[in-house]
Amino acid sequence: MEPVILLTSLIVTAIVFLVIHGRTSESAKLRLPPGPARIPLLGNVHQLPSMGQQRAFAEWGKRYGDVIYARLFQTPAIVVNSMNAAQDLLDKRSAKYSHRPRFILLQDLMGWDVMTHFSYGERWRRHRKWIASAFQDKDALLSYRPLQRRETYVLLSGLMDTPQEFMGHIRRFTAAMIMEIAYGHCVESSDDKFIHLAERASAVTLESGDAGAMLVDFFPLLQYLPFWAPGAGFKRRAFAANKIIQELLDTPFDMVKNAMMKGIARPCFTTSLLEEIIQKGTLNKQDEHEIKGAAGLLYGAATDTTSAVLGTFMLAMVLHPEVYQKARAEIDRVVGADRLPDFDDRASLPYLECVIQEVFRWNCPVPLGLPHRTMVQDEYRGFDIPAEAMIIPNIWAMTNDPSIYSTPDIFRPERFMEMDPQTMESRDPRNVVFGFGRRICPGQKFADSSVWLAAACIIAAVDISQILDAFGKSVQPPAAFDEVFVSHPKDFPCNIKPRSSKAQKMVSDFVVNHTM
């Protein structure tokens, strides 16, 4: 066996040498953006922490600028640290920057075969059209308002009845809206089986690591390791996760399909797609696979990020009661005490708008977004951007840029009120936190309006305060966030109670009249 091992080692060594030599020669011909020094094979991977990579990239930015060249193993990568550069490249030149890297772990092994992971092409356009019709059409968005309103009041009722479970109520709020839109399923409690299934799928996905950043994504041959092989733990975990994810995609879809066969299906995203395809011909397995992925994406992409934003809102209000009171005074002045805020009040509540902007800025829900990939070689500021390069938008660095937002670590909504309207619009963090170019989140308007209504009604209807310790002193929770793909606040306690008996009755009456 020794000659075979020796020959194999020589072949592997030769291939590695040729790959490195070929790519080094290719890079030598390009005028690349500045970046940290690289070493063979690893590139710059050894310089990155396992958690909080957005901060490491931001530190690189202080030395090398807002557009940085690096190598992740042998993959060329461009880190974009500024809002200006991101908009120049990913928005204005979207035609060149709309591909995705190959997400082998998430897509191929775990089963998240969904639009966000597709490369740009016909399949992506088909799914994008489906989702845009549900979340970008004005009439569709208006049709969701009764649902958003109903679930906001259910959220308020939960906060008043069992305030210690406030994050569970927030997760239920986001999940209930998407479950009804995607599958026509009305969530009646936090114990709903679909919510538990979705939370399990979300948990195993987040535990897998950042999209496109796992070892198998850079070395695709690793996906063929036998399950028993040393180092194949990632594959065993992905296989276990795949079962949960497939159950999440299959179970609600089968529920809708069976309801359609019985003639009792409620109108929803899934029924509309099934009806559209059935009218054109026979529904096949591939059609079902595509619809499952499109509907599953609505749930997977929307619920976790929206609950992260509302969790951040709650933490900010606990830490900054002066902001809470100022926003409440504005609502009282505009809305009065006889009803709660509604969508038509939004334009008349400018300070609340600044609060929402600051929530998105202070803890952007997806710090590094999903990486893009260049389709062709490009040139920017005199530098060459290689073809097939991974483009990493450091959204955290953009929303924490001290040249745009002074003292960015401080939660201060007034910063936006101090800007003129044009500057405020250009520096709105929602310009970047929802993505860029053709890859921008199609559900942006729905998510933003859901967050706004929930925040406005929480401020108007409940009191939020810090808990007291044994000596009656306020306990201030830290402004700490999970450093994973989606950034949630770390668990924190707070006191929540109805603002008044009148507010409690308004919520109770609405829930009774609209959920029975």
Q: What is the DSSP string of 444-480?
A: HHHHHHHHHHHHHHHHHHEEEE--B-TTS-B-PPP--
User: Range with the lowest mean pLDDT among 16-30, 343-357, 373-387?
Assistant: 16-30
Say what the pLDDT of residue 148 is: 98
Residue 18 belongs to some domain of the structure:
no
Say what the pLDDT of residue 9 is: 40
Say what the pLDDT of residue 213 is: 64
> Mapping DSSP to helix (H, G, I), strand (E, B) and coil, where does residue 509 land?
helix
pLDDT band at 32 (very low <50, low <70, confident <90, very high): very high
pLDDT band at 7 (very low <50, low <70, confident <90, very high): very low
How confident is the model over 120-129, as pLDDT tens digits?
999 999 999 9
Given a cut of 50, whether residue 18 has pLDDT beyond it is no
Say what the pLDDT of residue 405 is: 97
Can you tell me the mean pLDDT for 420-449? 95
Domain total in the chain: 1
The percent of residues in the chain predicted with pLDDT above 70, rounded, is 93
Cβ–Cβ < 8 Å for 18, 10 = no
Cα Rg for the chain, rounded, in angstroms? 24
Rounded CA-CA distance 45/48 in Å is 6
Rounded CA-CA distance 312/492 in Å is 11
Angle, alpha carbons 467-468-471 (nearest 5°): 170
Q: Which domain holds residue 132?
A: 31-515
What CATH number is associated with residue 509? 1.10.630.10
Cβ–Cβ < 8 Å for 493, 467 = yes
How confident is the model over 57-116, as pLDDT tens digits?
999 999 999 999 999 999 999 999 999 999 999 999 999 999 999 999 999 999 999 999
* DSSP state at residue 71: E
Residue 5 belongs to some domain of the structure:
no
pLDDT band at 29 (very low <50, low <70, confident <90, very high): confident
pLDDT band at 28 (very low <50, low <70, confident <90, very high): low
CA-nearest of 229, 484, 489 to 362 is 489
Can you tell me the mean pLDDT for 347-362? 98
> Mapping DSSP to helix (H, G, I), strand (E, B) and coil, where does residue 404 land?
coil
Residue 16 belongs to some domain of the structure:
no
Given a cut of 50, whether residue 1 has pLDDT beyond it is no
Higher-confidence position of 380 and 8: 380
Say what the pLDDT of residue 194 is: 86
Given a cut of 80, whether residue 17 has pLDDT beyond it is no
Say what the pLDDT of residue 483 is: 86
Rounded CA-CA distance 115/132 in Å is 12
Residue 13 belongs to some domain of the structure:
no
Residue 3 belongs to some domain of the structure:
no
How confident is the model over 365-395, as pLDDT tens digits?
999 999 999 999 999 999 999 999 999 999 9
Residue 176 belongs to some domain of the structure:
yes
Q: What is the pTM of this model?
A: 0.92
CB atoms within 10 A of CB 69: 23
pLDDT band at 15 (very low <50, low <70, confident <90, very high): very low
How confident is the model over 439-464, as pLDDT tens digits?
999 999 999 999 999 999 999 999 99
Q: Are strands 378-380 and 462-465 parallel, antiparallel or unpaired?
A: unpaired
Say what the pLDDT of residue 210 is: 62
Residue 373 belongs to some domain of the structure:
yes
Q: For the chain, what is the mean pLDDT? A: 91
Higher-confidence position of 283 and 154: 154
Residue 64 belongs to some domain of the structure:
yes
